[in-house]
Chains A and B, each alone.
Chain A
């Protein structure tokens, strides 16, 4: 029996149905589905139109628009506002240069940041001047940051790959430099008790992520160690921390710790919060990384050892890179959780983004507004949290896709 050779076809046949046919098949196939669809459509319509009406008609937005500074930097002295602005400016330049030097993900982030700042600048034009304080510098600042990012991009567009190592150093140096700028030097330091708003949230989250990562990896490696003392210390630490809520760790760090330390040693409240968040996050991170390490086939270690690589080289070059790649989604999920969990520092008296929201809606001048301004304030704060979390999540997805190139 001879089979006829059939020609290869470029693509599988694509079943296509029209919109109406899809609707009929999926939403109105019988009287019961039809009824359900109509009721649900009605409910969705009600909810959306109600939300839209509220967004347009409510007076409460004034609570947010007249407190932008409180949301962004808390009670940071208004005459020193150039300090956080300078830091944002530095970030803009670094981001722009990185976008030009690496393209890919940094490019998307840089363009997104620049556009967002320009849009915010345009929005601020729409506000009545008395709510944008001081009018000139705020608008100039927003457009300036957008322009700085774009300039950085342009500057590094050609031959920017030479800038990569200096840029890595720049990002690492940014952290201490930013802290120095925000705190000031000499007589006129600005105490961290005045730091707040989104600025404080970002500082807590970034510090927590950057510090808990190496600590978590070390704990994960320690837990797999052959040395009993190290192993049991790590197990005890991880299980202890994972067994208690973050709030208790924050309380321990802020209230109990000073009792154990000599009276002369006073640890800054923000530093204590960072330590608590870091210690807490590291325990969870350790378990996630351990999961990744366990997924590495034994043959990988055997091949590395057979080639003569020692234990440290095998870990750093073979197992850890593979383990970390495998757990990127989990780690980012954890970092997003950490970012949002920093809102718990309200409990120990710090005024982060959420604390600023609370401070706004309890201001006495909103008593005249029916219902107050709390809905609008939390709406905006939730939006800010969402923007950052969503950006992190999408960035991670993209990194994952890039790393998967050429994998099994």
Chain B
């Protein structure tokens, strides 16, 4: 495994990342640096490439140009580097993507047992602690299909945390939820942010961004248009496209 020695404070470094789907230029020269412990919210209109971008960071999408360095590991085609990065990053999806044939507890302990080679006992102990932390310890032996959307998403967060990642990637974690369940998921994310986790969140929850984010990044048509602290971003957007976007959703 190849670790580059540029490890200052930046845990994620993206330089001139470009991606195409066939003829379609999905990401255009995306540059972003995320510091350890920083919470970055990415927003933008649909089709702006924000999900695509966050998914290049753990190689669910392949980028064709530019460099991505996560926790000092450069993303190359070497499967060992990709696996190493995936062990460092947890991901939460819009559609939860829990494994429906496994119980909540099995969903959470699967990766620690098979990837981290933990014993069943220690992984289950840790899983129950995490379920306690996201507030649904009593659901441990149910199947995902028996839980509400909000509970499922909290299980998904616990599942990602069970691998003790250094970075959490959230890909529209509340977009598929009924309004009354959004809060319970955001509460968990807020708590996670305060605990010092590095987080990269694609979300439309502007209240969450304003309150929790260290930085807000606005993307449109595959580019980063503007990035700033939440105060400045919301009070004083510089670009026309940002102003238009904010006027539409706020």
Interface of A is mostly: helix
User: Nearest chain-A residue to B84 (Cβ)?
Assistant: A308
- Do A318 and B99 touch (CB < 8 A)? yes
- Do B143 and A407 touch (CB < 8 A)? yes
Does A272 lie at the interface of the complex (its beta carbon under 8 Å from any beta carbon of B)? no
Does A299 lie at the interface of the complex (its beta carbon under 8 Å from any beta carbon of B)? yes
Distance A197 CA – B159 CA, assembled complex (angstroms) = 55
- Do B97 and A309 touch (CB < 8 A)? no
B residues 44-90 near A (Cβ < 8 Å) are 58, 60, 83, 86-87, 89-90
- Do B86 and A408 touch (CB < 8 A)? no
Interface size class of A (residues with CB under 8 A): 20 to 34
For B142, what are the chain A residues with a Cβ–Cβ distance below 8 Å? 406
- Do A308 and B115 touch (CB < 8 A)? yes
For A304, what are the chain B residues with a Cβ–Cβ distance below 8 Å? 99
Does B111 lie at the interface of the complex (its beta carbon under 8 Å from any beta carbon of A)? yes
- Do B60 and A305 touch (CB < 8 A)? yes
- Do A406 and B159 touch (CB < 8 A)? no
> Could you say which of B58, B99, B114 contacts A306, with CB atoms under 8 Å apart?
B58
- Contact A317/B110 with A299-B97, A308-B86, A407-B145 known, Cβ cut-off 8 Å: yes
| B97–chain A nearest beta-carbon distance, Å | 4
A residues 297-354 near B (Cβ < 8 Å) are 297, 299-300, 302-310, 313, 317-318, 321-322, 325
- Do A307 and B163 touch (CB < 8 A)? yes
Query: Residues 136-156 of chain B: 1 if any A CB is under 8 Å from the residue's CB, otherwise 0?
Result: 000000111110000000000
| B86–chain A nearest beta-carbon distance, Å | 4
- Do A406 and B97 touch (CB < 8 A)? no
Distance A104 CA – B197 CA, assembled complex (angstroms) = 47
Distance A307 CA – B60 CA, assembled complex (angstroms) = 11
- Do A308 and B83 touch (CB < 8 A)? yes
> Could you say which of B95, B99, B145, B160 contacts A406, with CB atoms under 8 Å apart?
B145
Query: Residues 380-408 of chain A: 1 if any B CB is under 8 Å from the residue's CB, otherwise 0?
Result: 00000000000000000000000001111
Does B100 lie at the interface of the complex (its beta carbon under 8 Å from any beta carbon of A)? yes
Distance A406 CA – B163 CA, assembled complex (angstroms) = 26
- Do A299 and B95 touch (CB < 8 A)? yes
- Contact A308/B97 with A313-B114, A406-B143, A406-B145 known, Cβ cut-off 8 Å: no
Distance A297 CA – B101 CA, assembled complex (angstroms) = 13
Distance A406 CA – B142 CA, assembled complex (angstroms) = 7
> Could you say which of A297, A313, A408 contacts B145, with CB atoms under 8 Å apart?
A408
Query: Residues 47-60 of chain A: 1 if any B CB is under 8 Å from the residue's CB, otherwise 0?
Result: 00000000000000
- Do A302 and B60 touch (CB < 8 A)? yes
| B159–chain A nearest beta-carbon distance, Å | 7
- Do A303 and B114 touch (CB < 8 A)? no
For A299, what are the chain B residues with a Cβ–Cβ distance below 8 Å? 93, 95, 97
For A405, what are the chain B residues with a Cβ–Cβ distance below 8 Å? 143
Distance A313 CA – B83 CA, assembled complex (angstroms) = 13
- Contact A305/B101 with A406-B142, A406-B146 known, Cβ cut-off 8 Å: no
Does B91 lie at the interface of the complex (its beta carbon under 8 Å from any beta carbon of A)? yes
- Do B100 and A309 touch (CB < 8 A)? no
Distance A106 CA – B160 CA, assembled complex (angstroms) = 38
- Do A408 and B100 touch (CB < 8 A)? yes
Distance A160 CA – B144 CA, assembled complex (angstroms) = 31
For B159, what are the chain A residues with a Cβ–Cβ distance below 8 Å? 307
| B54–chain A nearest beta-carbon distance, Å | 11
* Residues of A participating in the B interface, judged by any CB pair closer than 8 Å: 297, 299-300, 302-310, 313, 317-318, 321-322, 325, 405-408
Query: Could you list some 18 contacts between A and B, CB below 8 A?
Result: A297-B97, A299-B93, A299-B97, A302-B60, A302-B97, A305-B60, A305-B86, A306-B89, A306-B90, A307-B160, A309-B111, A313-B114, A313-B115, A317-B110, A318-B99, A322-B101, A407-B101, A408-B100
The 3 closest A-B pairs by CB, nearest first: A406-B143, A408-B145, A303-B97
Q: A303-B97, A308-B115, A322-B101 are in contact. List 14 more A-B contacts (CB 8 A).
A: A297-B95, A299-B97, A302-B93, A302-B97, A303-B91, A306-B58, A306-B86, A306-B89, A308-B87, A313-B115, A317-B110, A325-B101, A407-B143, A408-B100
